Structure 1
Amino acid sequence: MNVTSLFSFTSPAVKRLLGWKQGDEEEKWAEKAVDALVKKLKKKKGAMEELEKALSCPGQPSNCVTIPRSLDGRLQVSHRKGLPHVIYCRVWRWPDLQSHHELKPLECCEFPFGSKQKEVCINPYHYKRVESPDVQAVAYEEPKHWCSIVYYELNNRVGEAFHASSTSVLVDGFTDPSNNKNRFCLGLLSNVNRNSTIENTRRHIGKGVHLYYVGGEVYAECLSDSSIFVQSRNCNYHHGFHPTTVCKIPSGCSLKIFNNQEFAQLLAQSVNHGFETVYELTKMCTIRMSFVKGTCSLTTEAVLLT
């Protein structure tokens, strides 16, 4: 038995509410979702009792059970974010619920999610499920490039995006009059707002960074004499780091910055938790890199990884 399980404790209130859980919603995640709700409802007199009444007597009228609306309207449970009424309708009524588009509030609900009030009702019996409109299949053609690279100086984008079609790409500080499709030469880019600090940083880019895609994995190799700095949520997930951790790659060293198989597994796990959870994963497809002290930086967006 590990230390975590030895000291884990589920409150009686959470256990009672989990008794009405529907279907095969992930046990641990559902428990965390309910635990987070209980902590909020205990601050309101009678809120817990009202929720238990609604769950135990689904055919009877019940009052709104509300929690404060967050700034973006979403609620974070463990590592996933979602809309609160969707989360609790999924736990207690429809485990296969995909998004808020499938829910419509009943007329009796005074604080429906769509009303944009300071409080939002999470009573699962104050919402009804509606049929999603049939969606016509959209023709999709895979792009020829597997990633796009955009160059920034401070917060200002400079030049056009570079689309990488080759699995091996060099991003350096030189100029290349031959217009090599496998090189993104930052020395060619001009910026009227460039100051002496940026000019000094650009001089240190040198051979820059080598990005290569092999066997479903993307690597960044630092060819510059100075270190480069990378923020990759996919890489951070693999190593158990905080999502926004920045990793330093010294000169001559490489780092795996994207793993397609791990991303595919996360995507498959997220599909059943609705649009918001899937959309959150798009952040993993954007990787940020900076040279020297971060004055000059790149944003790499994975477009196709197969």
Structure 2
Amino acid sequence: MFMFRRRRTALAKRLWKARVRRDNNEARCPEKTVAGAPSSAAAATTTPSPVESDERQFRNALFKRLDDRQLETLLRAVDTGGADAAECVAVRPFLFVDPAVICCRLWRWPDLKTAEQLKNTPACQTAKQPDMVCCNPYHWSRRCEIERPPPPYSRFVKEKLKPEDRAPSECSWDSNDDELRGSFSTDGDEKPNEQEWCKVAYWELSQRVGRLFPVDTKSVNVFWNVPLGTGLSLAALTQHHFSPAQSPPESVLRNRTKIGQGLVLSREEDGVWAYNLSDWPMFVNSPTLDDPESNSYLVFRVPSGHCLNIFTGNPHGDRIRYSNGVRIGPVDPNAVRISFAKGWGPKYSRQEITSCPTWIEVLLDPCR
């Protein structure tokens, strides 16, 4: 019994030490006493702040409710930064706070305020149990707050794009041709599957890599090469590249290392959500996030650990513009482009999406 108690205590101590530190003006651990400072000041530095006292109270209450297996699961998720966070850590709500908020504040986002800022990831099974709360901080994603109006760096004028600089779903087509041509996901020769709700293509700069990946499950992980990961491995696509073998540019090789756990695309009741699981931000352009009155595309930055509703199923028309009698704009209004770690736009050296080292394009079925 004593041995099990010691093991449990060790797990709890490791979890407490692994918590995210606050800024210096609100540190969770007592600061070191400055040499020559009065003893009363030294005593004050060792007095827990109200925030720390509340968190200690929560910690004690939480750890008492978790069995050894749950403590190990929680520690494994925290230690691996979410790389090994498959299992839920479910508890019933207690005390005066939301356990999920405090856990995410302790181990991920010290500045988190309310539960409204959080959203369960598709991997969380506890979300289906209304009387339980998941305390695994990596089963939560932080909602990305869209700036309205967005900052200038996120806008880029469509008329400035040359045809060779456009992604395939942005190509122009003849006004007399009603068929969509150059769509990345169909290439004009693939039959739709009623069970598929989207297809994903991986791009490196202006070259598509590997085959198209059809998605017929509610959610799909898109990652580089995660051990035991299920979904679309971009590393695997590069091994079956259909173009002649050649060494990728250095910028591509560097950016591949930043994809990591990548993202999750999830089809939900209110649209399609993208959850950023990597350690780097991702940049999104979607027809449903564009301003219908603007002559510019918008690119939104989604930080690590955040999520964004990238497609509501109600795009703002087909975003068509006319130039010399030729319609210019996305061929498919249901196409979404996501770049890993690198943004693009007028304030970047990368003016177009095809200048981004690694990115994906998602073609969604016509909104239902």
TM-score by length of 1: 0.45
More helix by share: 1
TM-score by length of 2: 0.38
